[in-house]
Amino acid sequence: MSDIVSRSIVLLDQVWPSLDNREIGYIYAKDFPLAVSKMEELLRKANPKGEKQTLVSKAGEEIIKKFGTDQEFFKVYKEDFAELFDGLIGHSFASAVDRCCREGGSDISRINRESISFRDNEETPVEAELLREELLAIKQELTMVKGENVDKDQAIAARDAIIADLRQKKHTSDVPSTSSPSGMLRSTKLQAQVARLQEDLRTQVNVIRDKDRESLDLARELDDLKDKYQFLEREFQFYKDHGEGQKPASAKEATKHEFIILELRRKIEEQSDMIAAMRQQVESKYFSIPAMNSGTVESGILSFVPISRILRSFIGVVLLVIVVRLFWAVLFGAAAVFNSDEAQALNSKIDFEWWEQSSLLSKMHWYFTDRFESGWGPASDEVLDANYNKVFGV
């Protein structure tokens, strides 16, 4: 391993424990700028003159800050730190550390000596200057954290002010100031800020969605592992109960087949219970007809004969009996129509059936004819009444 690579590894090993306090093997992207600043602080301590050392340029700092803001919960593993640094800045992490050591005269070997905290070993005497430097570094870290919190609070306050301003302009009708250059410039700035905030919101939503998908995948994987564990547990208990170690090879094979058969039976029983539950839910929806067992004669008849058609036919038969009883009384009225002069003149022009010469008999005939020859419903009644009124001029 070259000296350039070894320097970068030593520097990363010194900074990483202070960032990964829980020792989970990774940090979030929001801590990436803090990691770079800690490395620069260690390089400053390793410099004999105590001059400030910078791993990245101003543009690189902006890129790192934007990455930490946009991809706040992106996981950065220790072994991927150098590769990610190279992708963001454009040059390798090892070359950046080597440049600081050559230009600033920083000695990486001093990092292990001067970065030892008095909290790590309280029995080891340390110089007052080292304690003072470490306290100063802690204060700087606290100031940096407070500054980040203040920046976030200011960003939130600015966002709220922009939203309130936009709402006020939306509800205000007498604001023709957008025609002026200053008004147009302010409107353009507000639109740009709103677009940037919307983009940040979409980024956060995408991050949350990725986390949700990851949690669902983990839950699904956990369920699969639970099923496998339960299967192995049942298999172990089965072989334990059957005393597998004391049986010949043929008996062991038969026991294995018996276990497989029991598992298949258990699966079939679970599927049967599921099918029965689904069938019960489906049958409960058809509450108008009592549920019957499939395969019986009654269920077969109900599946082929419509109940509504049977009821309509029965009502028609009852009405037909009543009409027959009234037929003779109506017949006398029909005979009177036949003997009238108006009926004779009508019969001389059109050849009607004898029952068609009576409006009452004709109406009853066509009513029952339409009732038994086609399906009947409320729409059929309306159409029949309309046609009858049209023909007879009612």
Closest-CA residue to 256 (of 269, 242, 246): 242
* % the chain with pLDDT above 90: 1
pLDDT, tens digit (0-9, with 9 covering 90-100), for 287-298: 444 444 444 544
Lowest mean pLDDT among 94-103, 206-215, 216-225: 94-103
Question: Residues 100, 11: contact at Cβ < 8 Å?
Answer: no
Alpha-carbon gap, residue 177 to 179, rounded angstroms: 5
Question: Residues 363, 357: contact at Cβ < 8 Å?
Answer: no
pLDDT, tens digit (0-9, with 9 covering 90-100), for 338-357: 555 544 554 554 556 677 76
pLDDT, tens digit (0-9, with 9 covering 90-100), for 255-278: 667 778 887 888 888 878 878 877
Closest-CA residue to 119 (of 141, 139, 135, 142): 135
When the pLDDT of each residue in the chain is averaged and rounded to a whole number, the result is 71
Quick one: CA dihedral 178, 184, 186, 191, positive or negative?
positive
Alpha-carbon gap, residue 350 to 152, rounded angstroms: 99
Alpha-carbon gap, residue 88 to 84, rounded angstroms: 6
Question: Residues 36, 55: contact at Cβ < 8 Å?
Answer: yes
Of the spans 26-30, 243-247, 375-379, which averages the highest pLDDT? 26-30
DSSP assignment of 166-204 equals: HHHHHH-S--GGGGSHHHHHHHHHHHHHHHHHHHHHHHH
Q: In whole angstroms, how large is the CA radius of gyration of the chain?
A: 46
Tokens of 164: 């309130």
- Helices 32-46 and 93-104, interaxial angle, to 10°? 30
pLDDT: is 390 or 46 the higher one? Answer: 46
pLDDT of amino acid 230: 83
Confidence grade of residue 194 (pLDDT, cut at 50, 70, 90): very high
pLDDT of amino acid 131: 57
| pTM greater than 0.85 (yes/no) | no
Which residues are paired to 76 by β-bridges? 27
Find the helix or strand (DSSP H, E) in which 2 lies.
none
Average pLDDT (12-41) is 87
Count Cβ neighbours within 10 Å for each residue of 353-367 and write b for 16 or more, e otherwise. eeeebbeebbebeee
pLDDT: is 393 or 356 the higher one? Answer: 356
Neighbouring residues of 88: CB distance < 8 A, sequence distance ≥ 6: 60, 63, 64, 67
Closest-CA residue to 61 (of 71, 69, 50): 69
pLDDT of amino acid 158: 78
Domain ranges of the chain: 3-115, 182-234, 246-285, 307-392
Alpha-carbon gap, residue 19 to 41, rounded angstroms: 14
* % the chain with pLDDT above 70: 57
How many residues can be counted in the chain?
394
pLDDT of amino acid 265: 83
Closest-CA residue to 253 (of 266, 263, 244): 244
Closest-CA residue to 101 (of 42, 59, 37): 42
Neighbouring residues of 128: CB distance < 8 A, sequence distance ≥ 6: none
pLDDT of amino acid 120: 41
Neighbouring residues of 4: CB distance < 8 A, sequence distance ≥ 6: 94, 95, 97, 98
Residue with tokens 């640094």: 85
Question: Residues 112, 11: contact at Cβ < 8 Å?
Answer: no
Question: Residues 5, 92: contact at Cβ < 8 Å?
Answer: no
Answer yes or no: is pLDDT of 175 > 50: no
Alpha-carbon gap, residue 190 to 332, rounded angstroms: 95
CA 391 to chain centre: 63
Confidence grade of residue 245 (pLDDT, cut at 50, 70, 90): low
Find the helix or strand (DSSP H, E) in which 24 lies.
none
Lowest mean pLDDT among 28-42, 163-177, 337-351: 337-351
Residue with tokens 């730190």: 81
Closest-CA residue to 357 (of 366, 348, 346): 346
Lowest mean pLDDT among 43-47, 52-56, 64-68, 296-300: 296-300
pLDDT, tens digit (0-9, with 9 covering 90-100), for 106-142: 666 655 544 444 334 333 344 455 555 666 667 666 7
Q: How many CA atoms lie within 13 A of 185 on its CB side?
A: 3
Tokens of 391: 């023909």
